[in-house]
């Protein structure tokens, strides 16, 4: 299809990635935000989000004139063919998605949307939101489309440009197919369905991944108790094409901007129709228990009590490749350490400034000075290449708790330090 006139409302990592990538596909895109200073920075090509390839894509869009940034939605949508809603839908009271930002945008633009303009929800929204938006718009001449995103922070641009699938849903099938055609150059399979099904796809996918992560964390705990090795177990599982290898790495728990709120939201949606989604509730409970287990492992590594213990933390972002701290399991663990009386010094290559309950340093080796234990909480590759002999010299204690199984145990153990991973029996590690 030819170039479409698209307005993207919201310039968070989903909105900015969506806008920049659609412009890269040849569409004329205007990105809207309420933050005047943020809009000015973006219009100058300055991107605050740490996302590989995004700043270059924004600069290219600005240079070609296909990408622009403005403040305020009402006038921006006046000649749009499609308006993508990419505003926050955070966890609200009781775990349900908070749709106030979506509702505020609809209230602002409903009177100026041109007839036939598609309102497209890119934000993760509960099942029934498309129908709710239609009611709020009060306009039969404006179709509403659900087009969920499947972007992972740290690989969002690559995910957008190389998608597994495009999911589009609407009760107006011709409009749904037109929206799917916006992505035609990506040559990805399209699932065109009704709005409710498209909305549920995003929740069902994310919640499945959350359950898979909770499952592998529980299996890792079982490995420790039975003397098995989680790496051998997941290696054997991963060859099964029905299971696959992704999301089979144990860690300190899942977090970020999506999985926590989406799991709680789907539990709430299920309850609203009288269904007890106990399987998903158990996965949420397992995720909380995992953080408790990590803190207990650290306490055991320093003699049983964290009171007065000096803990060096490597990694604060919820995953490597991003500076996002939203619902980071690393922050949950460090907060629990501080609550138990530990003195926490932390380093993350993408996180600076001040955070409660810890001292943040700009050199990873500073976390080791006088530390009773070093704890790896985010899987930054650079941590593998640290000088662990130097770290051993700096430390007061000898414990390295690797909650991501990131480090080479032999390298750490060769320095005289003790390495504790997840689901990895020490004797088996030493024998390899």
Q: What is the pLDDT of residues 34-82, one digit of tens each?
A: 999 999 999 999 999 889 999 999 999 999 999 999 999 999 999 999 9
Percent of the chain with pLDDT over 90: 91
- Give yes or no: 21 in active site: no
**CATH assignment, 194-431:** 3.40.50.720
CB-CB contact of 99 with 129 (8 Å): yes
Tokens of 47: 């991107």
**Over the Cα atoms of the chain, what is R_g?**
24
pLDDT computed for residue 90 by the predictor = 87
- Say what the pTM is: 0.91
**CATH assignment, 5-191:** 3.40.50.720
Question: pLDDT digit string (tens) for 377-422?
Answer: 999 999 999 999 999 999 999 999 999 999 999 999 999 999 999 9
What number is the average pLDDT over the span 340-345? 98
Domain coordinates of the chain in residue numbers? 5-191, 194-431
- What span, in angstroms and rounded, lies between the C-alpha atoms of 5 and 314? 45
pLDDT computed for residue 146 by the predictor = 98
Pick out the residues of the known binding site for NAD(+). 33, 38, 89, 124, 153, 261, 326
**Closest of 267, 149, 167, 169 to residue 210, by C-alpha:** 267
Do domains 5-191 and 194-431 share one topology? The answer is yes
Pick out the residues of the known binding site for substrate. 150-153, 202, 247-251, 255, 319
């Amino acid at each position: 299809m030819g170039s479409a006139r698209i307005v993207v409302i919201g310039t968070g990592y989903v909105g900015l990635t969506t806008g920049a990538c659609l412009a890269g596909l040849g569409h004329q895109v205007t990105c809207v935000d309420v933050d005047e200073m943020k809009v000015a920075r973006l219009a100058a090509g300055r991107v605050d989000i740490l996302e590989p390839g995004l700043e270059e894509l924004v600069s290219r869009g600005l240079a070609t004139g296909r990408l622009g940034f403005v403040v305020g939605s009402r006038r921006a949508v006046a000649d749009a063919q499609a308006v993508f809603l990419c505003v926050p839908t955070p966890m609200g009271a009781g775990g349900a998605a908070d749709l106030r930002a979506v509702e505020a945008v609809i209230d602002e633009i409903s009177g100026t949307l041109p007839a036939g303009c598609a309102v497209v929800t890119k934000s993760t929204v509960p099942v029934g939101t498309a129908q709710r938006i239609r009611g709020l718009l009060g306009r039969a001449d404006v179709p509403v489309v659900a087009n969920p995103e499947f972007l992972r922070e740290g690989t969002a641009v690559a995910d957008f440009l190389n998608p597994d699938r495009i999911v589009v849903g609407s009760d107006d099938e011709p409009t749904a197919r037109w929206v799917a055609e916006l992505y035609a150059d990506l040559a990805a399979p399209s699932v065109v369905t009704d709005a409710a099904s498209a909305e549920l796809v995003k929740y069902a996918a994310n919640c499945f991944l959350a359950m898979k992560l909770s499952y592998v964390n529980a299996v890792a705990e079982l490995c420790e108790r039975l003397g098995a090795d989680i790496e051998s177990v997941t290696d054997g599982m991963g060859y099964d094409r029905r299971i696959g290898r992704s999301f089979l790495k144990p860690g300190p728990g899942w977090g970020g901007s999506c999985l926590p709120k989406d799991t709680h939201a789907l539990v709430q949606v299920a309850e609203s129709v009288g269904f007890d989604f106990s399987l998903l509730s158990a996965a949420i409970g397992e995720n909380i228990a995992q953080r408790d287990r990590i803190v207990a492992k650290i306490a055991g590594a320093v003699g049983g009590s964290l009171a007065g213990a000096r803990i060096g933390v490597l990694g604060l972002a919820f995953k490597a490749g991003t500076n996002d701290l939203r619902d980071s399991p690393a922050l949950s663990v460090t907060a629990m350490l501080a609550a138990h009386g530990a003195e926490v010094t932390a380093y993350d290559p993408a996180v600076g400034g001040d955070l409660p309950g810890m001292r943040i340093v700009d050199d990873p080796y500073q976390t080791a000075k006088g530390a009773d234990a070093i704890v790896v909480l985010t899987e930054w590759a650079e941590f593998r290449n640290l000088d662990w002999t130097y770290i051993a010299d700096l430390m007061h204690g000898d414990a390295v708790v690797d909650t991501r199984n990131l480090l080479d145990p032999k390298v750490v153990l060769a320095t005289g330090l003790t390495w504790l991973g997840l689901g990895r029996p020490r004797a088996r590690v030493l024998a390899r």
